[in-house]
Amino acid sequence: MLRIGFPPVRLEILSKISGVEFEDIKRNKKASGRHKDLNDLENLR
């Protein structure tokens, strides 16, 4: 986890989320069919 700033104005960036696999994200983006998600999917390859 990357923390930037101090409370109450702090950003926390998570590199992993428990229970979510990378393949699930790719499958969901493809299934959505949205242009933004399809573009994200191309950039993940």
pLDDT at 33: 92
Q: Residues 13-44, buried b or exposed e (16+ Cβ, 10 A)? A: eeeeeeeeeeeeeeeebeeeeeeebeeebeee
Instruction: Return the pLDDT at 24.
Output: 86
**Strand duo 2-6 + 9-13: pairing:** antiparallel
Measure the CA dihedral 27/32/33/37, to 10°: -70
Is the pTM above the cut of 0.75? no
What pLDDT, on a 0 to 100 scale, did the predictor assign at position 20?
A: 82
Contact 29, 40 (CB under 8 A): yes
**Domain coordinates of the chain in residue numbers?**
17-45
The tens-digit pLDDT sequence of the chain (45 residues) is 899 999 999 999 998 888 888 888 889 999 999 999 999 989 986
pLDDT of amino acid 23? 84
Task: State the pLDDT at residue 3.
Answer: 96
